[in-house]
Amino acid sequence: MLNIILSGAPGSGKGTQSELIVKKYGLQHLSTGELLRAEIATGSEFGKQIDALISKGNLVPDDVMLHLIDQYIDNLPTDCKGVIYDGFPRTINQARAFDELLKKRNQDALMIDLIVNEEDLIQRLLLRGEISGRSDDNLDTIKKRLVVFHERTEPQRQFYKEKNNYHSIDGNGTIEDIFSRIDTLIAAL
Ligand code: AP5
Ligand code: MG
pTM: 0.97
Amino acid identity of 3?
A: N
Name the residue range of residue 16's domain: 2-188
For residue range 70-89, list pLDDT tens digits in order: 999 999 999 999 999 999 99
Query: Is the distance from the beta carbon of residue 145 to the nearest atom of ligand 1 less than 6 Å?
Result: yes
Residue of the nearest CA to atom 30 in ligand 1?
Answer: 33
Work out the percent of the chain whose per-residue pLDDT is above 90.
99
Number of domains making up the chain: 1
Q: What is the whole-number distance in angstroms between the Cα of residue 176 and the centre of ligand 1?
A: 18
Q: Which atom of ligand 1 is nearest to the CA of 128?
A: 44
Give the residue from 122, 98, 101, 103 showing the smallest Cα distance to 9: 122
For residue range 117-158, list pLDDT tens digits in order: 999 999 999 999 999 999 999 999 999 999 999 999 999 999
Q: What is the CATH number of the domain that holds 153?
A: 3.40.50.300
Task: Tell me the best of 60, 101, 120 to mutate to test the pocket of ligand 1, counting ligand atoms within 8 Å of each CB and taking the most.
Answer: 60
Phi, psi of 81 (to 5 degrees): -85, -20
Query: Is the distance from the beta carbon of residue 84 to the nearest atom of ligand 1 less than 6 Å?
Result: no
